[in-house]
Structure 1
Amino acid sequence: MRRATCALLTVARRLGTPAAVLGGPVEPASLAALGRFGAATVYSVPAPEMTDHPVSARVEALVQLAGRRPPAAILVASGREGLEIAGRVAVRLDSGILSDVVDVTAGPDGPVAAQSVQHGAYRVESVVVRGTPILAVRTEHITVAPAPVTAVVSPVRMTFPGRVRAVRQVGRDRVEPTELSTAAVVVAGGRGVGSRAGFDLVRRLAAALDGVPAGTHAAAEQGWCPAEMQVDQVGTIVHPSLYLALGVSGSMRHRTGMHGAGTIVAVDSDPQAPIFELADLGAVGDVHRVVPELLAEIERRRSPTPEPEE
């Protein structure tokens, strides 16, 4: 189960007994995992639209369920898709919406959402005063905590209108992995990689380590990587076991996004780069020379050792 789901359930428990909504049948392992984090009810929507048109179908499912069983709030994980779902649900329900939520507590007038403002300089607390509160939560800020219950599956039959099915795929683009917040290994590239072509070293090393590539604000601004890969206080905050920073100087905004990593390895040509203050292991050198050697060493260690001749 995704860490984002665990975080949403952790927050939702502060508002009452949470319920989860899943498309299709619920596997026993998924049911057990959802119950471990407090989902007493798991609404299963066994409809092909949930797979064929996931965003529109999820919006429709949340709207219809909210009409049948009004919730204290609807929580979704922030991100491009999550924000789209939250916005469309808010319009359909004529409800207020709060984005960039980093914490939620119960208040006398409903959920109180804390939002990060001005690049994390301070936080504000807000409440929704119209309709069902729709909260887009930046789950990387939430510390997950289990609270086991026995989850019960509740199949929900619903008819999806034609507008959900009236979607035609007109193309397919290569999309970078976006699960930065849950990745065990993250390889990030900064201005020091030098170019879009140079950033390919980041992707190659991430693939070699079964990790996820990422970038700094500077790398995203240069167009070397999409904004979804940006690690910093206004992008994605990560908590990997291993974080490799390639050509990353270590600005405060970037360090805010990755300081919670377990082991940090940095490669940069500037020995005074701030990233070395956080690094557990640092290599002062040209990324374009160090990383190819690292890739070759990884390949060498993964290659089977030939049997000795008799």
Structure 2
Amino acid sequence: MPVLVIAEHDNQALKTATLNAVAAAAQLGGEIHVLVAGSQCATVCEQAAQVAGVARVLAVDAPHYAHALAENLAALIVKVGGPYSHIVAPATTTAKNVMPRVAALLDVAQISDIVAVQSADTFVRPIYAGNVLATVRSADAVKVVTVRTTAFAAAAPQGASAAIEALEAAAEVRGARFVSQQLTRSERPDLTSAQRVISGGRGMGSAENFALLDELADKLGAAVGASRAAVDAGFVPNDYQVGQTGKVIAPQLYIAVGISGAIQHLAGMKDSKVIVAINKDEEAPIFQVADYWIVGDLFKVLPELSGELDKLQQN
């Protein structure tokens, strides 16, 4: 049976997380179809049709899919999902909102945040903040699966020429409507796809002090993240949060500044290729997972690092 992948997008471009979901779906053995639901999203459909491994794109264009409201999107997925053995989505904020509703409507158990596919009905997923890997086998007729994007290399964005099939929209669900959104605008790379990330914790002391990270991030071409403690303290917005209850990332370089290393934060970044920790507490748990570390006052270390980067760029 074919596998249905739910595309994540902003009505203009396909999100990289979809490519990771396609890569995971490819290991399930069935033909891969991608559902693109949005408003004026023809460009996204064309991009999805080019992703390596995709055989068909199901396009649903209607105004009530513009903001991926869970109520509307879940109803559509259930309507479309009948012929599919698996319904797969990346484990992003959007999918965490939509897919449990899909599983409930189908009366099946969701298989969340998988990091490996052993067979069409058996998956590996982390539990206890990633300290234990559980092997899960599902007997449900339809498997509703979310994929930890850092665990699967992204499918090639080009290489296919899938057919695009337009489908009718499901009826708009009453009782839920989009009111407004507040977006953080930045010229820096997106946190979930950046190759370099510098994150601050409660040790930054204030929102104003995050300017030190901003300066260093601009010189490194990095995204800026934060621990839950820094977000809870109001230093930065929620979408900066890295961790079990935030974003799970695996950049080439992760710099943790003033972050003690709580388990829930480590769950979101410990798969990073190189981890650098800066903390004045030499017994901070973050040092146990760091490849390189600096024990010192971050308000002295960061300006020194910034100065050294200036010297390198001048040379």
> Structure 2 stretches of 5 or more lacking a match?
1-13
Structure 1 residue 20 displacement after superposition: 1.0
1:163 aligned partner:
173
Partner of 1:87: 100
Residues 153-302 of structure 1: pairs in structure 2 closer than 5 A: 153-163=163-173, 167-169=177-179, 171-175=180-184, 179-203=190-214, 205-206=216-217, 209-220=220-231, 222-225=233-236, 228-232=239-243, 235-250=246-261, 254=265, 257-270=268-281, 283-291=294-302
Deviates more, 1:119-128 or 1:278-287: 278-287
Provide the C-alpha distance between the structure 2 equivalents of 1:61 and 1:47, rounded to a whole number of angstroms.
Answer: 11
The alpha carbon displacement at 1:221 in A equals: 5.1
Q: Partners of 1:99 and 1:28 in 2: how far apart?
A: 26
1:5 maps to 2:18: yes
In the TM superposition, residue 30 of structure 1 has moved relative to its aligned partner by 1.5
Shift of 1:116: 1.2
Show structure 1 runs of 5+ residues with no match: 304-310
Greater Cα offset, 182-191 or 218-227: 218-227
Evaluate the alpha carbon distance shift between residue 58 and residue 237 of structure 1 in structure 2; reply closer, same or farther with a 3 A threshold.
Answer: same
Give, in whole Å, the separation in 1 of the partners of 2:214 and 2:157: 37
Distance across 1 between alignment mates of 2:106 and 2:283: 53
Equivalent position SS for 1:240: coil
1:98 shift after superposition: 2.2
Q: Cα 1:187–1:176, aligned 2, differ >3 Å: closer, same or farther?
A: farther
Equivalent position SS for 1:151: coil
Residue 98 (structure 1) aligns with: 111
Q: Deviations over 1:162-217 (max 9, x none)?
A: 32696141x44345889533112211112321234434543554456443221234
Instruction: Name 1:66's counterpart in structure 2.
Output: 81
**Alignment CA distance shift 1:262-1:124 (3 Å):** closer
Shift of the 231–242 alpha-carbon distance from structure 1 to 2, 3 Å rule, reads: same
Corresponding residue for 1:307?
none
SS at match of 1:182: coil
Letter in 2 for 1:151: S
In structure 2, what is the Cα distance between the partners aligned to 1:55 and 1:299?
46
CA deviation profile, 1:133-189 (whole Å, cap 9, x unmatched) = 2112222222445598633233223134232696141x4434588953311221111
Which residue among 36, 49, 55 is the counterpart of 2:64? 49
CA distance in 1 between counterparts of 2:227 and 2:25 reads: 32
Q: Flag the 1:206–1:174 CA change in 2: closer, same or farther, 3 A.
A: farther
TM-score (norm 1): 0.75
Number of matched pairs: 295
TM-score in terms of structure 2 length? 0.74
Structure 1 residues 102 and 227: alpha-carbon distance in aligned structure 2, compared to 1, 3 A threshold: farther
Aligned to 2:42: 25
Whole-Å separation in 1 of the counterparts to 2:19 and 2:178: 33
Listed one character per residue, the Cα deviations across residues 93-143 of structure 1 (whole Å, up to 9, x for unaligned) are 333322232223324xxx223221222232222234445221122222224
1:39 partnered with 2:54 = yes
1:192–1:246: 8 Å Cα contact kept in structure 2? yes
Q: CA 1:241 to 1:218, structure 2 compared with 1: closer, same or farther past 3 Å?
A: same
Deviations 1:209-247 (A, max 9, x none): 443221234434545445654434665442223322222
Letter in 1 for 2:134: V
* Partner Cα separation in structure 2 for residue 203 and residue 147 of structure 1: 30
- How much is the aligned-residue C-alpha RMSD, in angstroms? 3.9
